[in-house]
Amino acid sequence: MAYSNSNKKLVPEAMSALDKFKYEVASEVGVTLKDGYNGDISAKDAGKIGGNMVRKMIQQVENNMANK
């Protein structure tokens, strides 16, 4: 079965910023990511990274909305 990535970016220009953000969050939660393939990290660690990324993005949007 061939793998198909369904994670399409809504704003492709933001891809490098999101990647940088992922590495920053991973560092904050104590998960070491290497350049390239990181499929060998545990689901728990991947969840920490993704969950904290979402939490920070929601916080930023809420701050932006409050400052309007």
Beta-carbon neighbour count of residue 23 at 10 Å? 15
Tokens of 22: 């992922």
Give the count of alpha carbons within 13 A of 67, CB side only.
6
Residue 68, pLDDT score? 79
Beta-carbon neighbour count of residue 48 at 10 Å? 18
Task: Give residue-wise pLDDT tens across range 7-28.
Answer: 777 888 888 899 999 999 999 9
- Contact present, 47 and 54 (Cβ < 8 Å): no
Residue 9, pLDDT score? 75
pTM score, two decimals? 0.78
